[in-house]
Amino acid sequence: MELRDFIWPDNVCMTGKSECAPPHQLRSPVNLFQSGNIVKICAPMVRYSKLAFRTLVRKYNCDLCYTPMIIAADFVRSVKARHSEFTTNRGDHPLIVQFAAKEAQVLADAACIVSPFADGIDINCGCPQRWAMAEGYGACLINRPEAVQEMVKQVRNQVENPMFSVSVKIRIHNDLQRTVDLCRKAEAAGVSWITVHGRNAEERHQPVHYDAIKIIKQSVSVPVVANGDMKSLKDVENVCQVTGTDGESFKGKKMTFQWTAVAVFLYAEIAILLLLCLPYISPLRWQKIFMFSLWGKIANYWNKAFLAIIVLLIVLFLDAVREVRKYSNVHIAEKSTQATASAYDHIHMKLFRSQRNLYISGFSLFLWLVLRRTVSLITLLAKERGAQVALEIQVANTSDAARKYLEENEKLQQSLMERRNCVNNELIEATNKKLKQEAEKLKAEIKKSSMVLGKKTDEVTAVKNQAESLKKEYDHLIREHTKLKEHAGDKQDKKAL
């Protein structure tokens, strides 16, 4: 059968011809829960669960698909809202349209509008977003069981198709008995099945309370669908065994946009750093690249952008730190209360993701600072290299000039030496002549002095000889005198006698 897309309000097909959509042979989605197999449901996801996405997941054995949450009042009141919020085709079945409503009649009107094109509606009583709860939608309805009961009754009464399903998606109360009472009232009103998200309205990433879903399943007779933290078919089978539910509603988990952007940013930083560190590209070449006019225009906003990215990465890093601490504490608390294995797996997965985000943001912040410093160092090195090249050229020019000056100096010294040698030779000859003349004079004087000295020596010799002869005579006289004294003494002695 050919797939033809229909949009509101006139069901105008894509060919542009106006015609009413041929009625689809609807069958009750409740029959899926009577097959005895696990019913695999693609849960409503904001901006994702559009027609194209539903068509894709149906190719992978998805049993039941939901539309994104639609505000029932806007859908009933605005044609534009119908155009933008709901699009389907003949192959888009079984299909459940999820509405957010707070008035039973408005919900019934919206259900009547979509009943020819969908297999049922779902009342969103589980959205924990603040804006929804402030408007009276979502999780705040679990505290108004009578309003939920009235919504189910009104849709049942006003939709003519008896096979049209009416389901409710809820969150649990801290007091589980209140949740059981809500489910029983919905069951009494004729609800087709109940989808239970195993967290309360305040919980976001905490472990799912599968034991609470099990208690709810045991308390009602209608099918119960388990919802929360099912990312694979193995998770679906495990939760089905734990809770005994009839179907499993799961969402495809993937890295969020901001962390995907941070991861891409991290890989871009690594690539740029590797490129900057290539030894084949010199800093001078990078300096020429940085001097392009494009970079000059970007430089005006560079500091602001750098600081903005720093602030953003710090915020993401602190958020990741907070997530790591939160799941670490949850892990310890669950361990002390002997939590189930599926809760442990959930905590570990959340902790792993928060740690992954911590590493991504931390390394992105670190590499961003390193990248800034690397660019600054490359620029500084390029300037130093340029200054070095200029100095080398200046030194080479100075060396050439000095070499020329040295050569000229050597030539001048040689010429001076030659002149000095000529003058010195003349002076030496004149000096030698004077010295020779003086030497001859000295020789003549020495000769005269030698002759005088010879005469004096002869006279001294003569005087010495004369002195010796006089000494000899003196000694002879002394001896004679002594003899005379002795002779005179002898005579006196004789006279005395």
Phi-psi region of 249 (alpha: psi -120 to 50; beta: other; left: phi over 0): beta
* Residue for token pair 């669908």: 225
Omega prior to 283 cis, within 30 of 0: no
Written as one string, the DSSP assignment of 415-476 is HHHHHHHHHHHHHHHHHHHHHHHHHHHHHHHHHHHHHHHHHHHHHHHHHHHHHHHHHHHHHH
Pairing of strands 120-125, 165-171: parallel
Phi-psi region of 63 (alpha: psi -120 to 50; beta: other; left: phi over 0): alpha
Check the CA dihedral 355-361-363-366 and report its sign.
negative
175 phi, psi to nearest 5 deg: -95, 105
Q: How far is CA 376 from CA 218, 287, 383, in A?
A: 68, 11, 11
The H-or-E segment that residue 387 falls in is helix 341-496
User: Which two tokens mark 452?
Assistant: 């005088």
Nearest to 155 by CA among 143, 142, 168, 145: 168
Q: Which of 125, 127, 140, 183 is catalytic?
A: 127
- Is 127 one of the catalytic residues? yes
Nearest to 113 by CA among 144, 64, 146, 158: 158
The Cα 120–Cα 93 span in angstroms is 10
The Cα 141–Cα 198 span in angstroms is 16
Question: Rounded to the nearest 10 degrees, what angle do helices 104-114 and 145-158 cross at?
Answer: 40
In 271-379, DSSP assigns E strands to none
The Cα 453–Cα 208 span in angstroms is 143
Q: Which residues are catalytic?
A: 127
